[in-house]
Amino acid sequence: MKAMFTDAFTSLPFGRDDELRILDVGCGLGFLSCVSAEFYKNARITGIDTFEHVSLKRSSLEGVKKNVRIGFSDSIDFKKVDMFRFTLAEKFDIIISNLVFHNFGKIRFKAYSLLSSWTQAGSFVIGHFFFSPKTDVSRESVQVLRHIKPKNGFRDYTLLVMSRDSHGLS
């Protein structure tokens, strides 16, 4: 999984040393926040989660803070918050998420709209089960730049590198 996200990050229009703001939606145990901090050395990362989903029984705000390896604790901030009630103080350069949006059912379209309003650069890296370009993207003004499929297992999983469409949100 780390290799897939690292590959996706190389597709984005940012350098590894750029000072970026990254939002990790549904950060869970903090794995993807750490991968992002390792790849983008000067990034400030905010991870948000309710820490209540049944798929991560041992997930908690305290637990995710403990999981942040030494060296990343200064660059990652975690918050316990529902993404639909999250009020942000600033815009983000990149929004990342893994295995979250398929849990929302039809309200995932509202989630996509929220993501679009939270970013200034319009870059997204989203790991998704059961992604459909006809239903998931056509309702939003984003374009899929890359589909990255795992080399083995997870047949229905896709890692998407997306950007706001120049005809849509700005």
What ranges do the domains of the chain cover? 2-164
CATH number of 2-164: 3.40.50.150
Indicate yes or no: pTM above 0.85: no
Tens digit of each residue's pLDDT (9 = 90 or more) over 76-103: 999 998 887 877 778 899 989 888 876 6
DSSP 3-state assignment of 84?
helix
**Ramachandran assignment for 33, one of left (phi > 0), alpha (psi -120 to 50 degrees), beta (any other):** alpha
Tens digit of each residue's pLDDT (9 = 90 or more) over 5-49: 999 999 899 999 999 999 999 888 888 999 999 999 999 999 998
Q: Where are the beta strands (DSSP E) in the chain?
A: 21-25, 44-49, 76-80, 92-98, 119-129, 142-148, 157-164
